[in-house]
Amino acid sequence: MDSMILTGQKNTLAEYMILSGADNRPPMLDKDLYDSWKSRMELYMQNREHERMILESVEHGPLIWPTIEENGVTMTKKYAELSPAEKIQADCDMKAINIILQGLPTDIYSLVNHHRVAKDLWEKVQLLMQGTSLTKQERECKLYDAFDKFTHIKGESLYLYYLRFTQLINDMNIYNMKLEQFQVNTKFLNSLPPEWSKFVTNVKLVKDLHTTNFDQLYAHLEQHELHANEVRLIRERNQDSLALVANHLMTPPHFNTY
């Protein structure tokens, strides 16, 4: 089968940004993947209230505060004197700065946190990253390695597992990396923990992994998460019981001596 670019997953990243509103934080910068972070940040901003004004602040600069003349003296208007639209833009200028700063790791934050203009801050981060950005081949190797090593994290819900996988696939799409649909779907299913094995087998029987996308697989599996959790709890209790028995058998009898 010819390789194909999974462009169908592009929309999922915007959904990821909406769904990740549980902690309401912008994506954190990975210095090796600046281009990916930049794209995700722009999507994050587009999902905020007054998104156009926030992006306007980042791309073109903040509100130029209007002035008034009193007794022959020209003065900049106070915030309370701004029009409603101007107040919104002034607020968005501040929001834009906060969004960018919240997405920076500590070492980069300490280099740029003195900037009070979102456009200047955005451009400064870009300049800093240009010196540390990886070549296209290095980026691809890093992402392919992350794909190969991707696995379920203990205690992670199916929802969070799906979000992490979505982000990884979208990062790969940003760099125009090619994967077969079957390869992506198989990775998504086979990286789930043992309690999902029965449901994974069932979904492989009812879904064509060459044409189905992993969003559909997630939607199908989500219906069975309660049962998968029950299987996990039963398995954990059995393991604890076996461990208790094994520990008892290995403990030598204690004889009282008189």
CA distances from 150 to 116, 161, 162, 180 (A): 39, 10, 11, 16
Q: What are phi and psi of 130, to 5 degrees?
A: -60, -30
Alpha helices in the chain (DSSP H): 10-19, 34-46, 51-60, 84-102, 106-112, 118-130, 136-149, 158-174, 181-190, 197-206, 214-222, 225-250
Q: How many CB atoms lie within 10 A of CB 183?
A: 15
Q: What's the predicted TM-score (pTM) here?
A: 0.53
For residues 178 and 243, state if they share a domain.
Answer: yes
pLDDT tens, residue by residue, 111-129 = 998 999 999 999 999 888 8
For residues 16 and 121, state if they share a domain.
Answer: yes
For residues 53 and 148, state if they share a domain.
Answer: no
Query: Which helix (H) or strand (E) is 70 found in, with range?
Result: strand 67-70
In a domain, 253, yes or no: no
Q: Which domain holds residue 54?
A: 7-130
Confidence grade of residue 243 (pLDDT, cut at 50, 70, 90): low
The domain boundary residue, chosen from 130, 150, 165? 130
Give me the mean pLDDT over the 220-245 stretch.
Answer: 80
Q: How far is residue 255's CA from residue 258's CA, in Å, rounded to a whole number? A: 10
Q: How far is residue 97's CA from residue 123's CA, in Å, rounded to a whole number? A: 12
Confidence grade of residue 178 (pLDDT, cut at 50, 70, 90): confident
- Total domains in the chain come to 2
Quick one: tokens of 132?
């540390």
For residues 92 and 153, state if they share a domain.
Answer: no
In a domain, 213, yes or no: yes
255, pLDDT greater than 60: no
Exposure of 204 by Cβ count < 10 A (0-12 exposed, 13-18 middle, 19+ buried)?
A: middle
The domain boundary residue, chosen from 77, 95, 130? 130
For residues 107 and 91, state if they share a domain.
Answer: yes
- Choose among 150, 181, 176, 174: nearest CA to 163: 150
The domain boundary residue, chosen from 69, 103, 130? 130
pLDDT tens, residue by residue, 18-73 = 444 434 788 999 887 888 888 889 888 988 888 889 989 999 999 888 888 888 88
